[in-house]
Each structure stands twice: as structure tokens, then as C-alpha cells.
Structure 1
């Protein structure tokens, strides 16, 4: 039997081949992340009469760079395993003195394949992978939109610091319409009250009218904002509002796509209170096959919601924090769901309130609810049955 370890990189991978005794057959080779590079690897295997039936290939899950090679080797019917880089740390320390060049990583991975002491990461099915791609893309868009909003607020704080008091949501429909047309106090003063009233009434569907128009004008007249570089600030605000509108339109379209795909994949996750289509899509796509986890505690650890206790010698810390290991996307989704469930789920809200009555901080209590919710998620997905709150 032969074992191939592949050290994954963005442009060029590196491979080492060992036999069943752990001996290197040849110097490691570097090959590009391309069809030509893959052919170079296959040619090396064929040189030693290595075929799909007598080799195990291993690689680390380094970013997304392993996906193309992994898929290609599977298409060629090779046995391929993908491991978490954390698993190879102990082996690296063991072999670090045996290999004094850059090939040590691929050699270590090959040795891990030989010993067989590893857990694998696998490509999910098409729907799960699609959900993961779209869900992570959505989170990136949400973060980008938030960044633009912060930039806009920073500018408004300079030119019109009083503006934040005019609307409960600076980026609500009416406020955005106003800023898109009249981005500075001077612009708002330049338009007559009737025109401003009509804009407000139309964009707010009658919620705002003449009184709000007068309030805006009065606030603009008495603003303490700067008047320097007025045109530059106005130009920035208009462009930022347009950018926010564009991203929000993309998010609306994206969320419809995600919801449709989720309902084709797994409906049961949304039976859990606090988990709607979007959070459900993130959770399902990040977990993948629930059978990968033997227990709820493993899923809690994978989400990075397990407790981390500081200990040194005889000292053991009394304050615990979540470890934040594992998938940050999964942890973020469960945490957001827990903040809703803590007040709306009949069982989890009782649990949350009991922690608060014991003097626990709000965030500490939410962390505990998040762990409970992860247990619920594990049971619901494992049994494929809708969630029913356990009210005692």
C-alpha cells in the first residue's frame, strides 16, 4: 500500500509518497493547481505502479484551495481524505527533525494517512454546498452593508450631527429617500416645505408629513455641523446611500434564493423557535451531515460554544468564556437564534430568566441558551423530527 500526502497552497501544491513502512519513495514534487499540475502528480504515481487500488491520498483543508484537486482526484476514482490542519500538529512535532526542508508538511500528511488516525472533512452534497456558498456570501454582503452605514453615519456626524434624532432608523426608506436627494442641511433648507412634505409623505406612505418637514428644516437651520467641503460630503452621502440600496436589493434577491434552496433541502430546522429560513440555511450548510457528530457536545464544540476555563498550576479561573473554536458562521447563526429564543421559546425563555435571576450577565445567559439550542438542533436533525418545546 502507498500513501500520498499533499500540502495545499494557492498556486502550487506539494506531494510526498511513502510506502507501508513509512519510507519516502522519491523527493517531494511541486505541481501547479491546474490540469497540467494534476497530470504531473498522476505521472509520478504511475512511475511507481501506483493505481487507484493501492494508494490513499490525503490533504489538509486549507481555505478553499483544496476543492479543485480533491474533486479532480475523486473523478479519477482515487481514495482521498481531507483532514483538519489541527490534526497534523502533533505529527509535525514528531517528524520535524526528520525532514529539514519544505517537504515536511506533505510527508507528515502522508504519515497520518499511513497511521489512519484522523477524522475527515468531505465535500457536502450539491444542495448543502450551494447553501453554504450563498449563506456565507450573504453574511459578507450584510457585513459590507453595515460598513457603508457606519461610513455614512461618520459623515453625517460631521455635517449634520442632529440628523440621528430625526428618524428612528437612519437607513429606513424615508430617511434614505431624503438623504439621496438632499444629503446636507443646506440641501434640505434649499427645498420648499411643500416639496419636502410631499417627498416624506410618499416615501413613508403617509406616516410623515408637514410636521416632520418643519422639524427637519428647523434642525437643519440650527445644526452645529461643519460647512467646509460641503459638496464633497454631499457627493459621498449620495453615493453611499446608492451603494446601500444596491446591496439591500441584492440581499432581497439572495434571501429568496436561499429560502427556496433550504425548503428543497431541510424544512425541519425551521421548526426550532428563533431559526428562520436564513439562519436555518447557515446552520444546515455549516453542519452538513449530522451523522458526523456522535453527540450534541461534539456539535457544541464544533460551533465553538463550549466553555473555555483558564487554568495555571493550582489556579482555576472562575469566569468562563466560550472557546470560539470551530465554525464562526455556525456560531454566529446559533447565537443570533438564541437571542430570539431566549425571549420567545417557552422552555428556553424560562431557562434564560432563571440564569438572570441567579445574577448571570445577559451575554452569559445567552451563551448558555445557545448551548441548549445546539443540543436541540442536534436532536432535531438526528431524528429528523420537528421541535416541540419541553415545558415543565
Structure 2
């Protein structure tokens, strides 16, 4: 990206997110935006990504890319080999993301059969994945007499502060 459209790295902090990957795939060179209106660009990206991403978010990123492309000076032409390589890398990252999601879902399904899963995942902020990871690492947490033993097993050193007002 540094030689095709370096400004994209500053716009997208999370390069492996769905929206970033799609933008990299479609507009990894500023020449791909020539003659394209912001509305056309937004509609193309919206059609290509998951519909759970709000159109306003897509439009905001598209506006940043569209404006940045006007002042960008890439080191290679739009038909260079690097552009093809970027697209292939995007496909590879997307496949890894799918594999990670599959493994996470499988882990959650496996942990859901455990007794403590429902209890732990009901804790605000815990979530299903974190609960599954905790149970996967710690095993049967009922073997610990108190939270301090669990903390020691997990290698946590929590500092507690109580004001005495409760």
C-alpha cells in the first residue's frame, strides 16, 4: 500500500476489517477514483460489504479516501503488479478472518455445554467468547475455593480499591 496509495494506511487503522479490506481491494490506487463521484463510490462499497455496516460510516470513509486521492502521488502506475498483489493479500486476509470466526464459533458452541458458561457469560462485559476462553484455559472453575485462587492460576494480579461508601 505504501507505493500504490500510502494515505490509505492513515485512514484505516484496522487494516483487516471488512470495510478496509474492501476499500483496499477496490481502490488501492488513486487512479481508480478518477471520474468517480463520492455517491457512486459509496454505493459501490455499500453493495460490496456486509449490510450491517451503516451507510453513514461507509460514506465517511469513502469521503476521506476520495478527498485524499486528489493529492496522492503513487510510486507505481495503476496497472502494476503491486495492485494485483494487494488484491490477493486482501483475499488471503479475508480467508483468515473467516477461519478465525469459524474457530471462535466452534469454541463458543463447545463451551456452551459446560455448566458455568451461562453464568460467566451473563456477567456484564464478559461476553460469550471471553467466557469460552476463560473456561478453556482454567477448566472447571468450581475447583477453586475463591476468586484469589483463580487469579493466581490465571496469573492475574488485580488491585482492588474500595472507598468504603458501599
Normalising by the residue count of structure 2, what TM-score does the alignment of the two structures yield?
0.68
Report what 1:177 is aligned to.
22
CA contact (8 A) 2:30 2:72 kept: yes
Alignment of 1:67-216 (within 5 A): 156-166=1-11, 169-189=14-34, 192-193=36-37, 195-202=40-47, 203=49, 206-207=55-56, 208-209=58-59, 215-216=64-65
Give the counterpart of 2:123 among 272, 280, 298: 272
* Moved beyond 6 Å, runs of 4+: none
Report what 2:104 is aligned to.
255
Give the counterpart of 1:231 among 80, 92, 97: 80
Partner Cα distance (1:270, 1:293) in 2 = 18
Counterpart secondary structure, 1:178: helix
Counterpart secondary structure, 1:179: helix
Partner Cα distance (1:254, 1:180) in 2 = 25
Partner Cα distance (1:277, 1:157) in 2 = 38
- How far apart are 1:171 and its partner, in Å? 4.2
Report what 1:329 is aligned to.
none
- How far apart are 1:280 and its partner, in Å? 0.7
CA contact (8 A) 1:258 1:277 kept: no
Structure 2 residue ranges without an equivalent (≥5) = none
CA contact (8 A) 2:120 2:131 kept: yes
**May I ask how many residue pairs the two structures share in their alignment?**
155
Aligned pair in 2 of structure 1 residues 265, 242: CA closer, same or farther (>3 Å)? same
Over the aligned positions, Cα root-mean-square deviation in angstroms equals 3.5
Deviations 1:130-185 (A, max 9, x none): xxxxxxxxxxxxxxxxxxxxxxxxxx344323224545754443332222123222
Partner Cα distance (2:67, 2:146) in 1 = 62
Report what 1:285 is aligned to.
136
Structure 1 residue ranges without an equivalent (≥5) = 1-155, 307-366, 373-390
Give the counterpart of 1:297 among 130, 148, 162: 148
CA contact (8 A) 1:178 1:199 kept: no
Give the counterpart of 1:245 among 71, 82, 94: 94
CA contact (8 A) 2:29 2:74 kept: no
- How far apart are 1:279 and its partner, in Å? 0.8
- The structure whose Rg is larger is 1
Deviations 1:63-85 (A, max 9, x none): xxxxxxxxxxxxxxxxxxxxxxx
Counterpart secondary structure, 2:55: coil
Deviations 1:240-259 (A, max 9, x none): 21122112222333333222
Higher share of residues assigned strand: 1
- How far apart are 1:285 and its partner, in Å? 1.7
